[in-house]
Structure 1
Amino acid sequence: MNIDLLRRTPDLRGVADVRLMTLEDGPGRGQRILGARNAVGLGFEVAVDRGFDVSALSFQGLNIGWHSPTQMVFPTYDPDSEEGLGFFRNFDGFMVTCGLDQYSRPREIDTAHFNYPNLKTRRLPQHGRIHTEKARILCYGVDIETSTICCEGIVRQASVFGETLELHRKIIVPIFEGAFTIEDSVTNRSFRPSDHAILYHLNVGYPFLDESMKVSGLPEAVVDEINSISPVPSDDFGEKVDLVDSRVTPHGSPISLHSPSNGLTLNLDYDQCSLPKFAIWRAYQSGMFALGIEPRSDLRPSEGGQLAPGESRTYSLRLGLARI
């Protein structure tokens, strides 16, 4: 325990804070947010009622995360709406978790493993459902023993005669570092096997994302392609997605987003064994203007694509911000 620090700031608010708030105006009215900051200028928000995701991120007054036109709408739209594309009505924020049984485009799956005679197949929506589910908060606060900010919650995705998947998430932020760790565990709480897939949609926006942005840490051919197009808003851009299979071309260093004009780098470390697939999402269209880095599990593996009753999978991400 840092007694000397307690002598100077008895409840630690001089160096770090985290508060539970409810939005009272605008499209997000009514949703719970955990707002936090630490001693080196890292600020973030956790969207408690939207998958316990990190919805906003800033560093020393500079916005890092992406903010979309949807403005963190709440309640969220049904993911099954618009022929399974309701995700785009909700899509917003620095981190959007996609899963827990599906990501990517809507698709039809065989549901015979749930052993319900009246439902043989089911359509899964774009990027799944977990990002729209409300969390149960386990704890939040500043811990003098570990010198960290901690936010912990459980989010459940469930259906009668369907999946019961539970995400246990812990977000840990050192008080004196520009970094944070996300520790996730996904457990099948039902008594039937269940499909499982997860994707972490980590999105940066303006002003961190600007024409000086460069990506490193991925295979050379991918990096060359990404860096060949300067991130400048264009009315006609649309999107581009570049895919990497880490089992074929593993990357040995952190994936880094460098913004020389802002003098800042964002680094991502993660376990490539549990998240063997990766994508870079470029959406430089005017009014959208986003760059996403996306570690993900295998969506349709030949084996290991289901969780047995009571089985869990764990995932860990570490993000760090540093001055160039």
Structure 2
Amino acid sequence: MDIKLLKKIGNVDQLAGIRETLLLRGRGEQVHIAEFYNAAGLRFSVVPDRGMDIYDLSYKGVNFSFQSKNGLTSPQAFDAEEGTFAEQWSGGMLVTCGLDNVGEYCENKGVYPVHGRYSFIPAKNFGTETYWENEDYILRAQGEVHQTKMYGRHLSNRRRIETGLWSKTIKIHDIITNFEAEDEPFMLLYHWNFGYPLLDEDSFVKVSSQQVESQNDHSTEPTKMKLPVDGAEEELFLHRSRSEVGMGMLWNEHLHLGAYVKYDRAHLPQMMEWKMMKSHDYVLALEPCNTRGWNRAEALEKDAIAVLPAYSSIEIELEMGILDGEKEINRCREKIEKMQGERN
């Protein structure tokens, strides 16, 4: 422990900790939240009732995350019916999509809603802990999310989220397990959503990809952001990389702030980029994934869906970090440029 620091305070909660609360009103009534805060100025909320995803995130009082018009909604509000997704999606810093479907609604021996059911499933065995590890003070949450169906799948995700006393990074460790006797097709996408003021006309994106594919006719500019446009349509890009580790970043040249997302490409070989410059729905998402933008039915038809063997597990490591100042932003850009030159 840091004895010199401890002599300056009576309770470490003065600098860093995790506060667990329940929302009392609105569409998120009785939703359980675990709010992390630390001495570096990093603050974010983990929502165990929504798959242990991350809702709001700020750094030194500056918001980094996108929140939809719906606000944070209760998992009881979930409706799998076609056309209801936009009425219930909360946005947030991180939305985990899957584990049965990613992409548009489809029907294939069952109903598969947009981006699957995962983010509306409450975690079980959720807990938090804070403790000294040498001279760092660790803030950690862990829990399990089980996506199940009678006579069907049983996929689980055992998630750990942590940061430190002076850290500007969030580390996520997921263990996804198939508890069934049959191999199970599964889809996974980590939807990291950035909003104003980090996202603005002075913001830029860089991804460690050697190839970028536009997913529709009006997806033309993956790098430069712009001011909101009334009636703008979404732009969607698929980034292909050859490096062992994938990385994407968004930075704001006016604020001199940015953020990066880093992930292991062993189980997340692609990254999608969702650029929505529409007024009131202004968001840029970086999305490491194991899919190419097809929904479950399309991926099965093309024989392009990942399969988790019976009684097996995979482990996934992700990191999201804050970039504070031109020096850190430039260093991250240089790192990504180096990755772009790598080959497997």
C-alpha distance in 1, partners of 2:246/2:176?
A: 26
The 1:281/1:306 distance shift into structure 2, 3 A limit, reads same
| CA offset digits 1:237-293 (Å, max 9, x no partner) | 1211011233xx548773211111111010121111210011110111111100000
Q: Residue 87 of structure 1: CA displacement?
A: 5.9
| CA offset digits 1:282-322 (Å, max 9, x no partner) | 11111110000000013648587222232111111111112
The 1:252/1:272 distance shift into structure 2, 3 A limit, reads closer
Write the letter of the residue equivalent to 1:296.
Answer: C
2:268 aligns to what? 275
1:183 aligns to what? 173
2:280 aligns to what? 287
The 1:254/1:304 distance shift into structure 2, 3 A limit, reads closer
Q: Residue 199 of structure 1: CA displacement?
A: 0.2
C-alpha distance in 1, partners of 2:228/2:68?
A: 14
2:236 aligns to what? 241
| CA offset digits 1:53-77 (Å, max 9, x no partner) | 0111100000000011011111443
Contact 1:76 1:90 in 2 (8 A): no
Q: Residue 90 of structure 1: CA displacement?
A: 2.2
Which deviates the most, 289-298 or 8-17? 8-17
The 1:294/1:303 distance shift into structure 2, 3 A limit, reads closer
C-alpha distance in 2, partners of 1:6/1:218?
A: 41
Are positions 1:167 and 2:157 aligned together?
A: yes
- TM-score norm. by structure 1 comes to 0.88
Which deviates the most, 198-207 or 90-99? 90-99
5 Å-filtered alignment, 1:54-133, equals 54-82=54-82, 85-86=84-85, 89-109=88-108, 121-133=109-121
**Identical residues among aligned pairs (%):** 28
- TM-score norm. by structure 2 comes to 0.83
C-alpha distance in 2, partners of 1:81/1:208?
A: 34
- Any stretches of 5+ residues in structure 2 without a counterpart? 214-219, 293-298, 326-344
C-alpha distance in 1, partners of 2:246/2:181?
A: 40
C-alpha distance in 1, partners of 2:173/2:79?
A: 25
C-alpha distance in 2, partners of 1:8/1:303?
A: 57
Contact 2:210 2:239 in 1 (8 A): no
C-alpha distance in 2, partners of 1:281/1:182?
A: 22
C-alpha distance in 1, partners of 2:29/2:10?
A: 33
5 Å-filtered alignment, 1:138-149, equals 138-145=126-133, 146-149=136-139
The 1:303/1:279 distance shift into structure 2, 3 A limit, reads closer
Q: Residue 217 of structure 1: CA displacement?
A: 3.1
Contact 2:82 2:113 in 1 (8 A): no
C-alpha distance in 2, partners of 1:225/1:86?
A: 26
The 1:11/1:141 distance shift into structure 2, 3 A limit, reads farther
5 Å-filtered alignment, 1:261-272, equals 261-272=254-265
| CA offset digits 1:20-79 (Å, max 9, x no partner) | 100011221110000110101000001111111011110000000001101111144334
CA RMSD of aligned residues (A): 2.3
Which deviates the most, 255-264 or 296-305? 296-305
The 1:82/1:173 distance shift into structure 2, 3 A limit, reads same
The 1:252/1:98 distance shift into structure 2, 3 A limit, reads closer
Contact 1:278 1:294 in 2 (8 A): yes
Which deviates the most, 299-308 or 42-51? 299-308
